[in-house]
Amino acid sequence: MNYDVIVIGGGHAGIEASLAPARMGVKTLMVTILAEQIGASSCNPAIGGLAKGHLVKELDAMGGEMALATDATGIQFRILNGSKGPAVRGSRAQIDMDRYRIYMKNVILNTPNLDVKQEIVEALIIEDNKVLGVETQLGNRYMAKKVIIASGTFLNGLIHIGEKKQQAGRQGEFASVKLAEYLRGLGIEIGRLKTGTCARIDGSSIDFSVMEVQGGDENPTPFSFRTNRESFNPTQLPCHVTYTNEDTHHIIESNFYRAPMFSGQIEGMGPRYCPSIEDKINRFRDRPRHQIFVEPQTLEANEYYINGMSTSLPTDVQLSMIRSVKGMESAKIVRYGYAIEYDYVQPTELKHTLETKKIEGLYCAGQINGTTGYEEAASQGMMAGINAGLSVKGEEPLVLGRHEAYIGVLIDDLVTKGTKEPYRMFTSRSEYRLLLREDNADRRLYRYGEKLGLLDEEYLAKVKQKERDIAEAVIYLKENFVTPTKEFIEKLLSLDEEKINDKVSLLDLLARASMSSEKIIALVPEFKKYSDEVVEQILIEAKYSRYIDKQKNQVDKMKNMLNVKIPEGFEFSKVSGLSNEIIEKLEDIMPPTLFNASEISGVTPAALEILHIYIKMAQKAR
Ligand SMILES: Cc1cc2nc3c(=O)[nH]c(=O)nc-3n(C[C@H](O)[C@H](O)[C@H](O)COP(=O)(O)OP(=O)(O)OC[C@H]3O[C@@H](n4cnc5c(N)ncnc54)[C@H](O)[C@@H]3O)c2cc1C
């Protein structure tokens, strides 16, 4: 069978990697070990969170599926950091894991140009360093112009529970052993990482009455820009909060010698920001307690995820430590927690398009690239899928800049710096946080979705109108001034606002921290014609306009800098402040421009700035 694109994997990366090219009209095949598990969430039943919510919104803005699936199957919606600035707010939703899988499987099966096969890919078909297809355990050969590997934690997956080890990709699923061996044979740099998950508890054995309740937002906001905000009214289930205590810590500590984390049984590096409970007890010995979130996994099945208690301790220790926690004294474990070690591809092996440098037409996306998290996986999946699709069509690749999207930051960090530990997104990873907000992801990125044909006309008309309204309103605010007349001062005081003493632009007036959407409407009644979403954006633009302009200037400066030519014969070794590794790479490749230099793995933005200064100095000296 011949395809344009073959995607190996039906996880969060594989889904977006398959949908994007198929929706672009490119004939695509998804091969996955278990069709039942398309869209399975290996770990926590939640999508989004700080910085991760940004990624989901960006995916959505370009036509990805994750946000729509979350809105359709979410069972609790919250905006994290709601009281803080808009740049660091993050949307998070608990999802019904079963319904999420079914939703995704249906979308995949109903997408034109997309076929699915439940088979295990064991080898790739490669000739002259160019990928031609895949070979499965059933002996089937599927040919394609591009292949995307989105195999998650499955490559040589090895599960640890106490002293017990078991080869698996996820508990209960085959590991991908032959494909892992095949990739090692290609000479691609492969490393080993580790992640883990907690036990799942039978809800009927938990005493929720002694735990704190954590509900969803009163007025839940949908994840997707394409979900109707007015009619969005999901069923919301509560989460509960409880804590570990001295007993729990004693049980864990006295069993350290049986923990694969400490006994040397696990070699792979784990996620620093999502440590196991044994790691937390070891690292933070003076903390009297650790918070545990008891989260529902589905609407109907009474099974709970105990967020904060990821572990690979032996099963008897897991039971004792869980039963030492308030409200869990009679807890019955349905599934034990475990750690998993797996192979990953060092992402410096990849171009910004996520195509491998060594094998033409072969792309990697998701956890295989050293990341952790559903959102990071889906983002890479979509970009690999888009770029594979564009390449099939003979079109220019799409690489998002660091100033355009967190997805751009994610991929740039991975392919230029590589990673030695599971990489997750944080808002602090972006230099342009005020520009890359969740709330403006639609305005930042819809043009790409439109160009690729991934967004429908109705939605595009809506987002374009929103863009026009905001631009019109900001001009109005810049051009219109208010004066301290008696009438206007009274109006301000009635809104609990300080009076003005001089003539000011409406933009400056609305920049006050105390302003709200309601006050905007009271002060500028002309704005009643705009939707709530538009007024919200006007408020943000007004409050942060100075900072936003400053960051936009920085972006322009960066763009100009990247266009700078590196003179022929430039002596990189004479530039002080560059590491020997960077100098070696630059001398080896001799990039013609700073943009080309920026694409070399390890060449950081700071290194580019230094080079820029030296090039300018060399030009002046001439
Ligand atoms: C135990 C565990 C704990 C985790 N803990 C966390 C956590 O705390 N926080 C967090 O953010 N993330 C966690 N993760 C990671 C999270 O699950 C992943 O980041 C995310 O699911 C990665 O998505 P993916 O699409 O890359 O891979 P996966 O979701 O793993 O999907 C891989 C897909 O590839 C398929 N596949 C693999 N090999 C082959 C083959 N040879 N042929 C055909 N199909 C193949 C599989 O069937 C599967 O469909 C954890 C994962 C595991 C397993």
For 352-371, how does the pLDDT look when each residue is reduced to its tens digit (9 = 90+)? 999 999 999 999 999 999 99
- Is 279 in contact with 285 (CB distance < 8 Å)? no
Statement: residue 438 has pLDDT above 90: yes
Name the average pLDDT for the chain: 94
Q: What is the DSSP string of 534-571?
A: HHHHHHHHHHHHHHHHHHHHHHHHHHHHHTPBPPTT--
> How far apart, in Å, are the Cα atoms of 579 and each of 421, 582, 589, 602?
22, 5, 16, 10
pLDDT, residue 589, reads: 84
Q: Is 501 exposed, middle or buried (0-12, 13-18, 19+ CB in 10 A)?
A: exposed
pLDDT of residue 264: 79
Closest residue by Cα to atom 37, ligand 1, is 151
* pLDDT of 272 over the 80 cut: no
- The predicted model gives 329-351 an average pLDDT of 96
CA of 155, closest atom in ligand 1: 38
Residues 328-355 have a mean pLDDT of: 96
pLDDT single digits (tens) 140-170: 999 999 999 999 999 999 999 999 999 999 9
> Range with the lowest mean pLDDT among 259-268, 275-284, 438-447, 463-472?
259-268
Rounded mean pLDDT, 192-220: 96
- For 173-211, b/e burial (b = at least 16 CB within 10 A) is bebbbbbbebbeebebebbebbbbbbbbbebebbeeeeb
The atom number, within ligand 1, closest to the CA of 197 reads 3
For a substitution probing ligand 1, which of 367, 375, 419 has the most ligand atoms within 8 Å of its CB? 367
Closest residue by Cα to atom 44, ligand 1, is 32
pLDDT at position 286? 87
Question: What is the arithmetic mean of pLDDT over 587-592?
Answer: 87
- Examine domains 200-339 and 460-551 and report if their fold is the same: no
Give per-residue pLDDT as tens, 440-495: 999 999 999 999 999 999 999 999 999 999 999 999 999 999 999 999 999 999 99
Name the residue ranges covered by the structural domains of the chain.
200-339, 460-551, 563-621
**Token digits for 174?**
């085959």
Q: For 405-468, give the DSSP string.
A: -HHHHHHHHHHHH--SS-B---GGG-S-TTTS-STTHHHHHHHHHHHHT-S-HHHHHHHHHHHH
Q: Closest ligand 1 atom to the C-alpha of 179?
A: 41
Ligand 1: which of 18, 29, 33, 47 to mutate, most ligand atoms within 8 Å of CB? 33
pLDDT of residue 599: 78
The CATH-assigned architecture of domain 460-551 is Orthogonal Bundle (1.10)
- Please indicate, yes or no, whether the overall pTM of this predicted structure exceeds 0.85: yes
Q: What percent of the chain has pLDDT over 70?
A: 100
Q: Which residues pair with 94 in a beta bridge?
A: 46, 76
Classified by CATH at the fold level, domain 200-339 comes out as Elongation Factor Tu (Ef-tu); domain 3 (2.40.30)
The answer to whether 540 touches 437, Cβ cutoff 8 Å, is yes
Pocket of ligand 1 (CB under 6 A): 8-14, 31-34, 37, 42-43, 120-121, 150-154, 169-170, 176, 179, 195-197, 274, 340, 366-367, 372-374, 377
Interatomic CA distance for residues 405 and 530, integer angstroms = 27
Element (H, E) at 334: strand 333-335
Instruction: Give nearest CA residue, ligand 1 atom 38.
Output: 151
CA atoms of 374 and 72, how far apart (whole Å): 17
Give the fold, CATH level 3, of 563-621.
Answer: DNA polymerase; domain 1 (1.10.150)
User: What is the average per-residue pLDDT within 549-577?
Assistant: 88
Give the Cα separation of 333 and 239 in Å (integer): 18
Report which listed range, 229-238, 274-283, 371-380, 563-572, is most confident. Answer: 371-380
318-330: pLDDT as tens digits: 999 999 999 999 9
Residue to mutate (ligand 1; options 151, 171, 363, 375; most atoms within 8 A of CB): 151
Tens-place pLDDT, residues 77-114 = 999 988 887 878 899 999 999 999 999 999 999 999 99
pLDDT confidence of residue 602: 78
